[in-house]
Structure 1
C-alpha cells in the first residue's frame, strides 16, 4: 500500500509513518501548501498513493483546516485514492456531554467550525471517505498535551475529554483505511477524564512531581467554548481489531511508557 500522510511532521503523522510500511510519504507544509489546490493535486499526482490520511490542521487558519480538507478530497477523488480524514471532538459544543457518530456537529469555537466545515466538504466531495473524529492525542514529548505537562501550567478540572494514545489512534486509522468503510467514525479513548486528571496521569508516567500539576477551572479563567465533550467510540470499536484504550489504562504504571 502506497500511503501519503498529510500533516506528516506532527506526532500522529510520525506514528502513522512508522506503522505505514515501506511505501510511505509523510508530507508537511514544505511539500505542499494545502491552501493551494494546485500544489495539493501536484503532490498527489507525484506520489500516486493508494491511501491518503489527512492529519493536517492549524487551529488559527481556516484555509488550511477547512479549505485544505476540500482540496485534499478533490485530489483524492481525481486520483482514485482512498481518503481518511482526521477530524476532532472540537466539532461539538459540549452541551450534550456524550456524542456518538450520529450526532451532527455543533461547534462552539472557530476551530471547531473549521473542522465541521472540513467534514462537510469531505462528505460532499468524497462520500466513500472515512471521517475519523478523535480527541486529545497522548504519546511522547512531541504530542501537544504531553509537552504542556512538561512545561507546566494550569489544567482544568471542568474540561473533560476522551484522550487516545497516539499508537492506538494510528493503528485504528490504518485499519479503517483498508476496511472499505465510509462516513463518520469516532476514534477516541475509552475513559472520560478532565485535563487535570490527564495531566497528573502523564506526570506520573513520565516521572514528574505530580504535586506540581496545578488545578484550575475554565469558569474561573473566564473561558468560553466546549467544556465536556465525550466521544462515544462504541460503534467504531466494535468493528476494529485495535483496542482504543482509556487514559487510565495506557498511562498506568503497569503500562510502562504507554
Structure 2
C-alpha cells in the first residue's frame, strides 16, 4: 500500500516522508523543480497546476493515502487550483486525503480561533489557502484539513534562517513585533499528520503549538539557543513595512490535543534542543 506525499521536497513533506518510511510504508513523493533528499522515497515529478498530470499519476499509483503539502506563496494556481486537482484525483482513486492548510486564512484578532471558524483572509496567500480549503471540502467531505502555523525545524530551516538574517550585520530581514503566531516543530506536525492519516477525522482541525509568540519573541528565542547577540536584531511592525498581513492569529489546538497522541510542544521547549 502506498502513501503519496504531494510536495514532498518541501520542509514538512520531507519530514512526513522520513517518518512514514521509518514506519515501513512505501512512500512516493512528488516534486516540481528537483527531488528531495530523503533516501528511500520513490520520487516523481509533478506540476499540480496540470490537472491531467495529477489525475494520471494518482490514477496509476492508486495510493491508499494522499498527503498534500504543496503550495507556492505567490501562486494562486499552485496553492488553490493545485489543491483542487489533488482532491479530485484522490477522490476518484478512493484515497484518504490529508490536506495542509494555514493560519493565513484568518484575518487576525486577540482571541484564539477554533477549528471550524470560517476564513477571512487579508492577503493573497491567505485567500488562496481559503479557496483551497473550500475546494477540498466540496470534493471530499471525508478529507482532513490541517490548519497549522509557523513551521520550525533545525538551524537550516527557513524560519530559523530568517532570524539569523535579522541578527546578521549583512542581512536585510526585520522581524515583526506585532505579528503573533503559534509556531510548531516540523517533527510534531509531521507526526500529527501521520496520525490523522490513520484516523477517520473529517474536516478542519487546528494543529499548532500551544504558545503564542511574536516574530520578535521567536527571534529572541533563536538567538538565545544559538548564542547570538539579540541586541543586533532588526525589528519592525506590520504598519511600518507597508505589507498587508494578519497581526495576531492564535490557533486553538484543543481538539487535536484530545484526538492525537503526538504532543504539541511549546516553541520554547523544542527550540531548546537545537
TM-score, normalised by the number of residues in structure 2: 0.89
> 2: CA distance between counterparts of 1:39 and 1:141?
35
State the secondary structure of the residue aligned to 2:250: strand
Instruction: Give the corresponding residue for 1:11.
Output: 11
1:83 is aligned to 2:97: yes
1:95-121 CA deviation, whole Å, 9 max, x = no partner?
354201121100001110100000000
TM-score, normalised by the number of residues in structure 1: 0.94
Q: Say if 1:92 and 1:226, in contact at 8 Å, map to a contact too.
A: yes
State the secondary structure of the residue aligned to 1:238: helix
Instruction: Give the corresponding residue for 1:29.
Output: 32
Q: Which moved more, 1:198-207 or 1:20-29?
A: 198-207
> 1: CA distance between counterparts of 2:58 and 2:155?
30
Q: Which moved more, 1:198-207 or 1:150-159?
A: 198-207
Structure 1 unpaired stretches of 5+:
none
Instruction: Give the corresponding residue for 1:248.
Output: 268
1:147 is aligned to 2:161: yes
State the secondary structure of the residue aligned to 2:259: coil
Q: Say if 2:116 and 2:205, in contact at 8 Å, map to a contact too.
A: no
1:8-61 CA deviation, whole Å, 9 max, x = no partner?
111111111110124112211151111111110122123321111101101111
Instruction: Give the corresponding residue for 1:51.
Output: 65
Instruction: Give the corresponding residue for 1:172.
Output: 192
Residues 125-204 of structure 1: pairs in structure 2 closer than 5 A: 125-152=139-166, 153-204=173-224
> 2: CA distance between counterparts of 1:158 and 1:211?
18
State the secondary structure of the residue aligned to 1:180: coil
1:103 is aligned to 2:117: yes
Structure 2 unpaired stretches of 5+:
34-44, 167-172
